[in-house]
Structure 1
Amino acid sequence: MAVAIAVVLAGAGFDTQQAAAAPLSGFYTPPAEIPSESGAIIKTAPMTILATLPTESGWPVQARHVMYSTRLQDGSPVAVTGTYIEPNGPWQGRGPRPTVVIAPGTSGQADRCAMSVAFSTGLTVSADPSPSVSANQELPSSAVWSALGARVLVTDYIGLGTPGIHTYANRIEGAHAVLDGVRAANSLAGVGPETPVVLWGYSQGGGATAAAAELQPAYAPELNLKGVWAGGPVADLAVILQRIDGALIGGAIGFAINGMLARYPELHKAVDRVTSPAGRAMLDELSDECIGDVIIEHPFLKTSSMTIDGRSLSEHLAGIPEATPALAELRVGSLTPAAPVLITSGRNDDTVPYTQARRLAEDWCAKGATVTFRTNELPPILPGATIPNHYGPEMIDGFGPDNAITYLLDRLADRPVSGCTLD
């Protein structure tokens, strides 16, 4: 994805060679006391977005770097950061101006991978502790929604930029960061909970928006959630870990394992028993890498190289009793969204399997949710290479004909939709 975004930026007139590295600023350091109120603004700082796209949104724009409160899996308060963009022009859709919260796709586990770090220039390159690259994958989506006149917040997720491990694909913490991002954006804009809201996410972001959709009735019932796009959603971590092992971004398995170990300490001894010293060293190395680093340094990583017996980490997890309840708790689909959800998935997605996305739609439909499921029939291109087969459907379903933007605009216009449509 870093390669794809670099192409977009270059085409938009941004010279990626000018991207400069910078250590994380003190902005990412939270205060000693975190507000107990979820979605409370902790601090903000001005941000100029220099990277441009050919839109009428008036970019470059002035944005705000924001830190707000959210909650960990156990309910304790924690700080999370993000980028807030106030629109320059009028809302182009029907109804009141909405708040759009964007949940990013996989960026990595190191603090420097936080989307807000790359947001100003579009791309960050660093040399310490080793060469590293991280792209603002959400430049296109944030630019489009900003051009339409929506207020936009892009969350960094828990543990990216801020202290602590990033709990990659954690259903509960991803949902909290997204929903509290809505509260924070509304607070910054000075608008109330009646403000219409839509959620946008693909891949890891699709899993986060899907989780937010099903947790919203209990966690943030005051929000006026109109619609959700969960594109290529990371819904069932167990299935995904099996699929991406040996794929271009196979190292992302390390992000998931590290995140699980942080919240399920009972897994530590079991994982230690099956990983080799080299495997444990690799998990530690991956905890400080971005997805671009994985592609450059560990492409097509097979976790069989990290275990004591040559079996994959996925095979071992399937046999670890402590892992079963953890993976079940992290799977999206056990609750019922109140707002309409569009789920899209590529039949030939080689990274986030189609079957688990379809199962999510079917689970929600069985519970009475309003779900539209669309299958992307893009044929397989270089299976295992991730970029064409996983990110190709994102571009088509997100921005192509009959896209996710149109679906969400219809929800904001209160065009009726009900029941389940499984295409």
Structure 2
Amino acid sequence: MTKSSRAMAITAAAIVSILGCSTPVAVAGPLTDFYDAPVATTEPAVPGEVVRNLPVNSPKGFGLGFDIERILYRSTDTHGDPMIVSGYTMTPTAPWTGPGPRPVIAYAPGTSGMADRCAGSAVLGTVGSSPAILPLLLAGYRVVATDYQGLGTPGGHTYLNRMASGHALLDAARTADVEPSTPVVLFGYSEGGFASASAAELAPTYAPELNIRGAYVGAPPADPTLNIDTLDNTGLGSAVLFAVDGMINAYPERAESIRGLFDSDGLAALDAAQNWCTTDPAANDIVRTSELTRDGRPLTEQLSNPVLAAVAETDTVGRIAPVVPVYLAHAVADDTVPVEQSRTLLRRWRDLGADITYRQYDLPAIPLEGANHQPGALAAYNDVMPWIADLIHRS
């Protein structure tokens, strides 16, 4: 391990120790009004408009010179309808000393669950969001993060929905009220990698005014058909339930048909999962989807059913070439999102002519279920941070 690698490993470990061990807690008191109080409608609704903000008293570990605010902002769901999304912004108080305006990182967090209490803006330290934030802030960048549709705000979370996730991330960047020359970089890992990839594909048509320099896409579950087998029959299977719930929440017109594929035990599991965070004990129980479906076939075999096939195809990333450079990275030993996800996405994007830098991390496998996913995020810092700096300093 090089000196810089050791330094990055120490930094990453410090981040996890400061931020990654917090447990999501129920939103209560003043926060209830922040998330749930009705928002006045406007015509026309302007995506990226901040409709409510609330300064955050810096929690332990963040006394490093950052201004933090929770935000509610306008966005657009998968059907093109207006929606309200929550998130947060963190800005270093020290002046930006680099060229031009302070860069903005549009940050998409990793999976934290389906319940409102799992939202990154509610706890500012969920396991999914914590590792990426501090290095970005210490580099002087402003970080604007999305909670995604239905996390924090009323309604169900549309987990791994391509359009809603991409829109929410691009509109998070818009909340920064950037100058036309302000560099914007999309950044995400796991669920966040999926959102970053989606946003990179959608940006030219949805947010053409943003000066997006590039996108970091880490370990993205880009294709629903490639991930279920890895998670089924394991203690990581709650993510499969989250994915089905995400379809139900995003496509209410299909909800009855999707739920019709499951028996009473399956429906009970799906309903329960809507209220789980990834840190809940129930979310770490073994899930066997063959025991939850009406016909006894596992969910991976159900994807050929027209009820799910159309949704899975719609929510697959890799059909549109990003017009900005992308840094795609994945750990070979990842046991939560298999590396074939990134290898397939790489082939699809390069076949479309996209500018992709790809890096695989051949890290030693950890003999503990689910423990081989997060190391890929930590390993990538050493490469991604200078890559971002280079994008920002280009004229």
Question: How do 1:241-320 and structure 2 match up within 5 A?
Answer: 241-265=228-252, 267-293=254-280, 295-318=281-304, 320=305
Q: Are 2:33 and 1:26 aligned?
A: yes
The 1:199–1:297 alpha-carbon spacing in structure 2 relative to 1, beyond 3 Å, is: closer
Q: Secondary structure at the match of 2:275?
A: coil
Partner of 2:327: 342
**1:345-397 Cα shifts (integer Å, max 9, x gaps):** 122211112112111112111111110011111133236x112x111111111
Could you tell me how far 1:11 is from its partner in structure 2? 3.8
Count residues in correspondence.
380
Alignment of 1:141-180 (within 5 A): 141-180=132-171
Alpha carbons 2:258, 2:307 under 8 Å: kept:
no
Deviation at 1:148, TM superposition (A): 1.6
Are residues 378 and 72 of structure 1, via their aligned partners in 2, closer, same or farther at CA, if it must alter by over 3 Å? same
Is 1:77 matched with 2:82?
A: yes
Instruction: Give the match's secondary structure for 1:86.
Output: strand
**TM-fit CA distance, 1:33:** 1.3
Secondary structure of the residue aligned to 1:328 is helix
Selected match of 2:49 from 40, 43, 47 = 40
Aligned amino acid, residue 139 of structure 1: S
Tell me how large the CA RMSD over aligned residues is. 2.4
Among 322, 325, 330, which residue is 2:315 paired with?
Answer: 330
Identity %: 37
- Equivalent position amino acid for 2:56 in 1: M
Q: How far off its partner does 1:13 sit?
A: 9.5
List per-residue Cα deviations over 1:36-78 (Å, max 9, x = no partner): 111011111111221316xxxx526431111110001111111
Q: Distance in 1 between matches of 2:247 and 2:21?
A: 38
Contact 1:242 1:314 in 2 (8 A): yes
Q: Map 1:183-222 to 2 at 5 A.
A: 183-185=174-176, 187=177, 191-222=178-209
Write the distance in 1 (CA, Å) between the matches of 2:75 and 2:341. Answer: 28
- 1:272-305 CA distance string (max 9 Å, x none): 4431101101100001111111x55542322122
One-letter amino acid matched to 1:404:
V
Q: Which whole-Å CA distance do the structure 1 matches of 2:20 and 2:185 have between them?
A: 29
Contact 2:331 2:361 (8 Å CA) reproduced: yes
Deviates more, 1:374-383 or 1:336-345: 374-383
Displacement after TM superposition at 1:262 (Å): 2.6
Match of 2:128 among 125, 129, 137: 137
CA distance in 2 between counterparts of 1:171 and 1:82 reads: 18
Corresponding residue for residue 58 of structure 2: 49
Contact 1:206 1:231 survives alignment (8 Å): yes
Once the two structures are superposed, residues 143-193 of structure 1 have per-residue CA deviations (whole angstroms, 9 ceiling, x without a partner) of 2212221111111111101111100011111000000001002x2xxx323
Which residue is equivalent to 1:419? Answer: none
Q: What letter corresponds to residue 55 of structure 2 in structure 1?
A: P
1:280 corresponds to which letter in structure 2?
L
Distance 1:20 1:268, change over 3 A: closer
Matched, 1:234 2:221: yes
Does the Cα contact within 8 Å between 1:234 and 1:352 map onto a contact in 2? yes
- Structure 1 residues 242 and 414: alpha-carbon distance in aligned structure 2, compared to 1, 3 A threshold: same
- 1:357 aligns with one of 342, 360, 372: 342
Using the alignment, how far apart are the partners of 1:338 and 1:13 within structure 2? 34
CA-to-aligned-CA distance 1:227-266 (integer Å, 9 cap, x gap): 1100001210121122211233211111111111233345
Which structure 1 residue ranges, 5 or more long, are not aligned? 1-6, 123-134, 416-423
Secondary structure of the residue that 2:228 maps to in structure 1? helix
2:159 and 2:243 in contact (8 A); partners too: yes
How far apart are the structure 2 equivalents of 1:348 and 1:181? Answer: 32
**Matched-pair contact (CA < 8 Å) for 1:102–1:154:** yes
Report the AA paired with residue 303 of structure 2.
Answer: L
TM-score, structure 2 normalization: 0.89
Equivalent position SS for 1:246: coil
The residue type equivalent to 2:390 in the other structure is: D
Q: CA deviation at 1:32?
A: 4.3
> Is the CA contact 2:27–2:117 (under 8 Å) kept in the aligned structure 1?
no
Alpha-carbon contact 1:267-1:323 (below 8 Å) kept? no
CA contact (8 A) 2:150 2:156 kept: yes
Q: Which of 398, 403, 406 is the aligned partner of 2:386?
A: 406
User: Partners of 1:83 and 1:218 in 2: how far apart?
Assistant: 25
Tell me which of 92, 103, 109 is aligned to 1:104.
109
1:314 and 1:261 mapped to 2: Cα distance? 17
**TM superposition score normalised by structure 1:** 0.83
**Cα separation, 2, equivalents of 1:213 and 1:380:** 31
Q: AA paired with 1:70? A: S
**CA-CA distance at 1:201 after TM superposition:** 0.4
Amino acid at match of 1:31: V
Residue of structure 1 equivalent to 2:375: 392
Worse-superposed segment, 35-44 or 65-74: 35-44
Could you tell me whether the CA contact under 8 Å between 2:19 and 2:131 is conserved in 1?
no
Asked whether the 8 Å contact 1:50–1:61 carries over to 2, the reply is no
Cα gap change, 1:82 to 1:273, in 2 (>3 Å): closer
Contact 1:303–1:312 (Cα < 8 Å) also in 2: yes
- Does the 8 Å contact 1:48/1:61 carry over to 2? no
